[in-house]
Amino acid sequence: MGKVIGIDLGTTNSLVAWMNKDGPQIVPDEQGIGLLPSIVGFAEGKPVVGLAARNGATSAAQTFFSVKRFMGKALSDFDAAELARLPYAIDGDSRSVRFPVGSTNYTPVQISAMILATLKKRAERFLGEFILKDAVITVPAYFNDAQRQATRDAGEMAGLDVLRIVNEPTAAALAYGLDKRNQGIIAVYDLGGGTFDISILRLENGVFEVLATAGDNHLGGDNIDDRLTALLLTEIQETHGFDLSTDREFLVKIRRIAEQAKKDLSYAEATRLLLELPDGKRLDQILTRTEFEKILEPLVQRTLGPSQQALKDAGLSPAQIDEVVLVGGSTRIPLVRKAVAELFGRKPHDELNPDEVVALGAAIQADILAGGTTEMLLLDVTPLSLGLETMGGVMERLIDRNATIPCRAKETFTTAVDNQTGIDIHVLQGERELVSDNRSLARFKLAGIPPMPAGMAKVEIIFLIDADGILNVSASELRSGVATSVTVKPSYLSDDDIADILDASFENAETDIQQRQLIEARVEAERRFPKAEELLTEMSEVGAPETLEAAQKALEALRIAYTQENHLGIRDAIDALELAAEPLVAQRMNEAVGSALRNRSTDDILAKVEQARLQG
């Protein structure tokens, strides 16, 4: 394999990196600048990417930033107030988002592809390659299937062969691991432009294993800019009487001032805000770090909940964390660093540029795939449990959340009724016990199973998650060899769904377990009813009257228990029925064996035994 580049497709800025003999290196543009603003504007219908678009080469209404937030999303996922703060126009429906430019509509994937194509050309120029195709692209850990697939689609649209989609916190851990070579537990706190991620990783002998991950897919530097922008709009209206909230050109200027103030207050105690207003008026005020931190405090606090949840999922306390790594430009803010240090009880690592660390890690992963780095291995995790619907409408988990990927799990099921020739397979994602409370991922059918008695067919279901987190489910009937499979396609999942799923699973854990136990007990009872009735009918003329009466009473008792909301009572009634029916079952078996042996030669009997053995 030739050169493979690593790309950090960021909300605010994007970078491309590669691995040279001295380690990972950021690829600069012709002016020696590594950061490419993730902004695309249009001038006379033609795209302008990066710094020129950011500096006003295109009109505000046709200059698109923070597009990463819209990847794989629907317009309905955003509230009207949030969209109103954007200086550019936005359109869409319940399935997609579009950016209108004249008579043309661009999707987030198309805009992102323009950014990726610019990075691709930069790398080709810097590395002297005529065409570079192979790349690794990073995404937030909390990106769902649709968002990951949208990122892959953008890469392919830019002319890249996307070898791997890597979580941003994991890429950062790779970058630090290359330098540190430490063994221990690492927390990666990643507060970028549009998303927040926290990952807990174990590093041992060059192997990174993600123990847990959590985050907020709608929290980052953009939210800080939004709050400062809102503050400035209010100040302008109250002091000067101008309502500029719908003026797109002024919104761009105010947002630039807000973003610069955020950067200034990461190093200085105060900054001056200057803006020329209509009618020759002027905004001129001082914003102190204390005032800034008061605005910022609620956002910083929002990062602590997912951080504590990740620790809980990993089964660790803050004292057990050996290293804390900061990622993302927003971690330069002193209040953020202070909160992280207080949470984990130690000063976080910041040796590497937080804007560059993800791209550097992507370059390392790219080098691993190219065969250059062989002493390091990356193991990621799946954020939610995966399983199947079983009888009674309960979910049978095959892969638990936070399971290391790539991974594989299998389970054997059987038919529920005689002569069943097909099985409907329903793939689910979530943490609840009942199917109705989980997310449906896919449905397919295993058909062509030869008719046989209930319970005789052996259907093996295999879940396989590849390194990109894509799930493949296969099903096969082991006796006949009939098989089918499905790759679970990306589907829409809103920003807060994962957090809501986890919260609901914790809140309803006790009730869910009780419901599952009751359903499973009733399913077992339903299986017993026809078999018990058949046994009583068959043995009514030959069974001992007292035994028949005891079995009949036990069956009636099970019917009554079945209607009660007590799974233990149903289980006890099932056990009582089996005990009462045991003499009848034994009598029927003895008669069946005697009939089979009657008038048979020894060779016939041995042949029958061998046939039964071969049939399992």
Q: Which residue bears the tokens 């296969």? A: 474
Q: Are 235 and 285 in contact (CB under 8 A)?
A: yes
Q: Are 225 and 258 in contact (CB under 8 A)?
A: yes
Given the residues 8, 356, 477, 512, select the one marked as catalytic: 8
Q: How far is CA 164 from the centre of its chain?
A: 15
Which is the catalytic residue, given 29, 145, 153, 168?
168
Locus of tokens 């002027």: 282
Residue 68: active-site member: yes
Q: Which amino acid, one-letter code, is at 391? A: M
The C-alpha atoms of residue 158 and residue 109 are separated, in whole angstroms, by: 10
Is residue 410 exposed (0-12), middle (13-18) or buried (19+ Cβ within 10 Å)? exposed
- Half-sphere exposure at residue 569, Cβ-oriented, CA atoms within 13 angstroms: 10
Q: How many C-beta atoms lie closer than 10 Å to residue 483's C-beta? A: 15
Catalytic residue among 3, 68, 73, 253: 68
CB 7 within 8 A of CB 14: yes
Residue in 29, 77, 145, 190 annotated catalytic: 190
How many Å apart are CA 261 and CA 267, to the nearest integer?
A: 10
CA gap 335, 345 in Å, rounded: 15
Strands 134-139 and 5-8: parallel
Which DSSP letter does residue 198 get? Answer: E
**How does DSSP assign 252-303, residue by residue?**
HHHHHHHHHHHHHTTTSSEEEEEEE-GGG-EEEEEEEHHHHHHHHHHHHHHH
Nearest one of 550, 554, 540, 555 to 587, comparing CA atoms: 540
Active-site residue flag, 133: no
- How far CA 293 is from CA of 76, 261, 269, 286, 290, in Å, comes to 31, 12, 11, 14, 5
Place of tokens 């397979």: 425
**Catalytic site includes residue 168:** yes
Plot region of 157 (φ>0 → left; ψ -120 to 50 → alpha; else → beta): alpha
Burial class (CB in 10 A: 0-12, 13-18, 19+), 328: buried
3-state secondary structure of 207: strand
* HSE, side-chain direction, 13 A CA sphere, residue 287: 27
Known catalytic residue at 190? yes
**CA 518 distance to own-chain centroid:** 31
Identify the CA nearest to 216 among candidates 196, 201, 202: 196
Tell me the residue type at 84. A
Catalytic residues: 8, 68, 168, 190
